[in-house]
Structure 1
Amino acid sequence: MILIYLLKVSACTLIFFAAYQFLLARLTFFKLNRLYLLSALLFSFIIPALTIESKREVLINKQATNTEIAYSNQAGFEKDFELEHLENDSSINWNQALEYLYVTVLAALIIRTLAMIGFVKFSINKNSSSQQGKLILVRASSKIKNCSFLNKIIVDESLSNEEKDLVIRHESAHVNQVHAFDKLLVNFATNILWFNPIIYFWRNAIDHNHEFLADYETLKTADKKAYASLLLNLAMPSSSLATHSFSKLPLKKRIMMLYKEPNSNMKKLVYFSVIPLLAICLLAFVNHKEVIVTKNVIGEENSFTHVNVYKQNFFKTAIVLDPNAKPAFNETEVVLVLDAGHGGKDAASVALDGQREKDMNLRAVNILKEEATKRGIKIRLTRNSDEFVSLRDRLPVQAATAFISIHHNATPKNAPAAFGGIEVYVSKLNKNIKVAEELGAVILSNLKKAGGINVQDSLKNGNLLLLRESKTPAVLIELGNITDQKSLDFISQEINLRKISNLILDGFVTFSKRGC
């Protein structure tokens, strides 16, 4: 998420700038300070974007499960249930709203920066009286004068020759040392981190550093007192963030640096303090990804290796089990969250025989729970009676191994006939779709053994809130089409529901033993 990344960048800027302010700002090593300010700013943006992978190999003895992950192109009819006065009012996505606000302000600031650059260029051209190469003389009435802009030096034509000479020397240092690049870089960084107060102090620090560098270069061939006097005489508020003004208020720091004795070279050792700061930021803000390499041994001769990538913090518990080691399964708690779709005022569809889908979903979940309890699998239900539970309240909050939502499909009036059997949905919009695909694929592979009812050959992609926003691996299973007589007859029999339930559980157990 972009906002999390930007918060990490802001935290890095805080650490690096605090080090600069307390350790480096008073030193006279202006070139090193410039290098620090620029490189630390870049590191602040780079570190949170880095990802470190750690590999872990797990050996598992088990039979091969050959399930190809594919998606059906057939349209689905399952939709999220929304009440105008309930879901629409309570489903404000604050993260998305904040992102829109951030992007809006960012766009406005970038436009402002570009407009400011354009205005400075226009104002210089408008007030220009003569130009010789990089040097542009402007009229005394010009608001933009005695400064440098990109690779141009702008000087007030009314100044004396001695004053012009000092201004030109100072501004030439800005141009020759390409300070305009630093200024553009930090201004755009300020636009990106507009909400972070530290970046404005950082921008000021870079401006001050530029002036120290230009002053130092000028004093190599100029009288210190005459130069300081001119700084005071020409002092004026800065009118633009796009230019380097010869003398802008406040001047206290510049005057102090003019008369300060250079620091001894031994003090350069202070810059080595950057190394532990860099290590702290790397440890705290770099992203971590765990790569689990599972080596599956089939029989005594054949083996294959596949790689699954999981985010380190996605699951609170990682289950990697050897099916042949019976105590291992009991030592790690396996939790399955079951959701009976719809409920309460949301009756959903009605079957050909008058049964309501919400009741059929709850019946199927209760049977699934009974079969899971026999196996020692811990079950949590999103509802255990005929009650309405909002979609967001159904999402698992506590750590769980998997989340399965049970539904029954139906063909709406005047719509093409829906699939007349079992379907398994996942959402490609979920950030951890690969893990959900594993769960869906292994369950679908087992359901194909049901017999007596059609089973969709491949997974289906559904843009459903439960699948899209679940942080637990989630699938939605349509147990059959209740407006298809053959399908309804099959799933109306309890023996068939128990058979389907055990096939689902077989897939779940296989999934839980694969490192999830």
Structure 2
Amino acid sequence: MILIYLLKVSACTLIFFAAYQFFLAKLTFFNLNRIYLLLMLGLSFGIPALTIENRHEIMVSNQEIPSKIAYSNDSVIEQDFVDESSAANNSLNWDQVLMYVYCSVLVFLVFRMLFVMVRIQIQLRKHAIDRSGAVILVNEKSTIKNCSFFNQIIIDSSLQYEEKNLVIKHESVHVKQLHVVDKLLVNFVTAILWFNPIIYFWRNAIDHNHEFLADRETAKVADKKVYASLLLNLAMPAQNFAMNSFSKLPLKNRIMMLYKEPNAKPQKLAYVVIIPVLMICCMAFINRKEIIIERKSAGNQASADTPVKPNVYAMNYLNSNIKVNPNTAFNEVEPVLVIDAGHGGKDDAGSALDGQKEKDLNLRAVKILQEEAEKRGVKVVLTRSTDQFLSLRDRLPTGEATAFISIHHNATQAGAPVPFEGIEVYVSKQNSNIKAAEDLGTGLLSKLKQLNGMEVRDSLKNGSLFLLRESKAPAVLIELGNISDGKTLNYINQEKNIRRISNLILDGFVAFSKRGC
């Protein structure tokens, strides 16, 4: 989610800026400080965008465990959520609301920045009385004066000759060192991170550093007392952040830096602090992904990390007879797996022992399953990819689908015994295509029984649920464990285990899709 990414970026800016304030801000190595501020700003965006893949190789048996079509009826299943509100599909999605608010403010700030730059050009045309190369003289009525804007230096025509030369010298440094590029960059970043208070301090730090650089160069050809006096005489409040103004309030830091003795070169060792700070941000905010690589203990079958696209044959799900080993008369088509993350939005369903909501666990598992499917070249369609409420009918596959799997987690009431803590697979005998659903369900169970660390029900369960009854594609519902059980919850909280389960589910789907019917 983009907002989570931006929060990580904001956390990086906080850490990097704190290091700057504590160790570097008072040093007179202004060029190095400029590099630090710009580089760390870029890294603040880059670090949370990186992902490190942790690959784990596991050995699995090449021999499948057969699964007969059998049913058991001794555990709990969630009931269909019935929405009694007439405005069910209009429920408020706070993720979307926050996204709309964020984007609205972002667009407003970007347009405001563009408007300010256009307004400056209009003001210059209106009040300019003389142009000499990059120097523009403006009359006393102009509110834009004694500053630089891109490669233009704007000077108040009423200044004395010596004063004009000092201002021109100062602003020429801004122009030659391309400070306007820094300002455009940091203003754009400020628009992106408008909710982050640190970015405004960061922008001020870059602005102050520009002035320190220009003051240092100007002081080389001018008397410091005369120059400091001119700074005080021409001081004015900052009007906008699109220009480099010669003198704007407050001036305390600029005057202090003007008279401060340059730091000795050995003090540059202070920049070594960047290394541990960078390591902290990398360890805290670089994303990590667990990748399970399966190796067969016998035979020469391909490993799970090899993207193999299975041969899939056109299926007619209105026909209840399964035809194994299809001949060449079948047309090869792309497999489509529709995956449903149960519940969502106002339908929280159950809660885990640690407070996690089932709807969130379902969505997490579905997204991991989608990632693993993409590695294999299996096309996946999600019924929902965010925390939103969908009616049961809206979850059903509407297009061509090879199979439909709804992902859930079981839960029992507080204090009640847990009848079964492991994985269960449900179908509905009321579905007219029950034979294909049973074939899919038993195939999934056969693969899931290879799982270590969690018990798997050895038979299908019959559930009179809307999704299982009404789906035209072969449909199953998988309960990925009971979140009221501590051991099970600890197991499914580990991403590597969910990826392992996902690969076993995909193994079952691929085997099913190759049969044709």
**What interval of TM-score do these two structures reach, taking the shorter chain for normalisation?**
0.5 to 0.7
TM superposition shift of 1:276: 0.3
Q: Is the 8 A contact 1:235 1:248 kept in 2?
A: yes
Q: How far does residue 240 in structure 1 lie from its aligned partner after superposition?
A: 1.4
Counterpart CA distance in 1 for 2:43 and 2:295 is 38
Question: 1:185 matched to which residue of 2?
Answer: 185
TM, length-normalised to structure 2: 0.63
**Structure 1 segment 326-341 matched on structure 2, within 5 A:** none
Distance in structure 1 (CA, Å) of the matches to 2:240 and 2:137: 18
2-side partners of 1:512 and 1:457: how far apart? Answer: 34
Q: Which residue of 1 aligns with 2:18?
A: 18
Give per-residue Cα distances to partners, 1:148-187, cap 9 Å, x unaligned: 0011111111111111100000000000000000101111
Q: Tell me how far 1:308 sits from its aligned partner.
A: 7.7
List aligned pairs for 1:205-284, cutoff 5 A.
205-284=205-284
How far did residue 46 of structure 1 move? 0.7
Q: 1:480 to 1:124 in 2, by over 3 A?
A: farther
TM-aligned CA deviation for residue 120 of structure 1: 1.2
Partner in structure 2 of residue 506 of structure 1: 446
- Contact kept? 2:236, 2:247, Cα under 8 Å: yes
1:306 to 304, 307, 323: 304
Q: How does 1:170-181 map to 2 (within 5 A)?
A: 170-181=170-181
1:433 and 2:370 equivalent?
Answer: yes
Which digits, 9 at most, give the CA deviation of each residue in 1:344-366, with x for residues without a partner? xxxxxxxxxxxxxxxxxxxxxxx
Tell me the CA shift for residue 6 of structure 1.
0.7
Distance 2:345 2:3 in 1: 27
**How high is the sequence identity, in percent, across the aligned residues?**
49
Alpha-carbon shift at residue 127 of structure 1 (Å): 1.1
Contact 1:174 1:214 (C-alpha < 8 Å) held by counterparts: yes
Q: Residue by residue, what CA displacement relative to the aligned partner does 1:380-420 show, whole Å, maximum 9, x if unpaired?
A: xx9xxxxx999833377469xxx99xxxxxxxxxxxxxxxx
Deviations 1:451-501 (A, max 9, x none): xxxxx9963469xxx65999xxx999764665xxxx38x78xxxx999987
**Residue 85 of structure 2 aligns with which residue?**
84
| Aligned counterpart, 1:167 | 167
Aligned to 1:130: 130
Query: What's the CA shift for 1:128?
Result: 1.1
Q: Aligned partner of 1:118: which letter?
A: V
- 1:137 Cα shift? 1.1
CA distance in 1, matches of 2:87, 2:452: 36
Alignment partner, residue 8 of structure 2: 8
CA contact 1:430–1:467 (8 Å) conserved in 2: no
Kept in 2: contact 1:124–1:144 (CA 8 A): yes
Looking at structure 2, the residues matched to 435 and 144 of structure 1 have their Cα atoms a distance apart, in angstroms, of 58
Contact 1:428 1:461 in 2 (8 A): no
Contact 1:140 1:157 in 2 (8 A): yes
Q: Tell me which amino acid in the other structure corresponds to 1:245.
A: S
The one-letter code sitting in structure 1 at the alignment partner of 2:84 is L
* CA distance in structure 2 between the aligned counterparts of 1:468 and 1:130, rounded to whole angstroms: 74
Q: Which residue of 1 aligns with 2:194?
A: 194
User: Is 1:394 matched with 2:349?
Assistant: yes
Cα–Cα, structure 1 residues 438 and 232, in superposed 2: closer, same or farther, change >3 Å? closer
Write the letter of the residue equivalent to 1:6: L
Contact map agreement 1:48 1:285 (CA 8 A) in 2 = yes
**8 A contact 2:13–2:199 mirrored in 1:** yes
Residue number in structure 2 paired with 1:515: 500
Counterpart secondary structure, 1:240 = coil
Q: CA deviation at 1:507?
A: 4.3
Cα deviation, 1:258-306, whole Å, max 9, x if unaligned, reads 111111111110000110000000000000112222112444xx34223
Shift, 1:145, TM fit: 0.4
The 5-angstrom pairing of residues 459-474 of structure 1 reads: 459-460=402-403
Counterpart residue identity of residue 459, structure 1 = T
Report how many aligned residue pairs link the two structures: 370
Does the CA-based 8 Å contact 2:425-2:441 persist in structure 1? no
Structure 2 gap segments, 5+ residues each: 66-79, 308-341, 379-398, 411-422, 454-498, 502-517
Equivalent-residue separation in structure 1 for 2:302 and 2:14 (angstroms): 48
How far, CA to CA, are the matches of 1:239 and 1:498 in structure 2? Answer: 72
Cα displacement (A) at 1:88:
4.6
What RMSD, in angstroms, separates the aligned Cα atoms of the two structures?
4.0
Counterpart amino acid of 1:394?
A: A
Contact 2:145 2:154 in 1 (8 A): yes
Structure 1 equivalent of residue 415 of structure 2: none
What SS class does the counterpart of residue 393 from structure 1 fall into?
coil
Residue 58 of structure 1 aligns to a residue whose secondary structure is strand
